[in-house]
Amino acid sequence: MQIENGTWVVIADGEKFLLLHNAGDTKYINLQLVEHERNDNAPAHELASDRPGRRSDSTHLVAGGGKAWGRSSLEETDWHKVAEERFAEHVAERLGEGVSQGRFQKLVMVADPRTLGNLRQAYGADLKSAVVAEIAKDLTNHPLDQIEAIITAFDEG
């Protein structure tokens, strides 16, 4: 993949994002850190306030011709997933502001598949038009030289 000089690159997952700027050229990219943010996701037991709820089921026949009411538990909310979705919305909002303020015109999004999907859902029109490539890969814990090599070697085909 070739990334032009001045293109910005976002490396993200559900808890962290790096905003990078290509100070190099298309042949030799040189990513420079512009900003970063981390959203520390608390343990599940701290995020949940109670046990999952329950609901009454409709009546059903039981042996002997009687009726009985059932109770089912509701699926517990995955608060980590909710926090990751909100973080992706926050990142997309900040990037959209950057586009509308003229901070950048071209952006490459690199994120794990779930985060990339969450980001896509949160793209505004300005941000959507600025995204020139998307890579479904988690690179948030890689050093910059490895990120550069992986992005350069990435085949868009």
In a domain? residue 21: yes
Point out which residues pair with 16 in neighbouring strands: 38
User: Phi/psi at 19 (nearest 5 deg)?
Assistant: -110, 120
Contacts of 65 (CB under 8 A, 6+ apart): none
Q: What are the backbone dihedrals phi and psi of residue 150, each rounded to the nearest 5 degrees, phi first? A: -65, -45
Q: What is the pLDDT of residue 38?
A: 87
- Burial of residue 54 (CB within 10 Å: 0-12, 13-18, 19+) is exposed
pLDDT recorded at residue 51: 58
Task: For residue 149, give the H/E element and its range.
Answer: helix 144-153
The CATH number for 62's domain is 3.30.420
Question: How many domains does the structure of the chain reveal?
Answer: 1
Q: Is the CB of residue 18 less than 8 Å from the CB of residue 12?
A: yes
- Residue 118 belongs to domain spanning: 8-40+55-153
Asked if residue 49 belongs to a domain, the reply is no
Q: What tens-digit pLDDT sequence spans the chain (157 residues)?
A: 889 999 999 999 988 999 999 999 988 999 999 998 887 655 555 555 555 555 555 555 555 555 555 556 556 667 778 888 999 999 999 999 999 999 999 999 999 999 999 999 999 999 999 999 999 999 999 999 999 999 999 876 5
Structural domain contains residue 67: yes
With tokens 């990037």, the residue in question is 95
The answer to whether the pTM exceeds 0.85 is: no
Indicate whether 129 belongs to any domain: yes
Residue 36, phi then psi, degrees to nearest 5: -145, 160
Domain-located, residue 109 = yes
In a domain, 113, yes or no: yes
In a domain, 50, yes or no: no
Torsion sign across C-alpha atoms 134, 139, 140, 143: negative
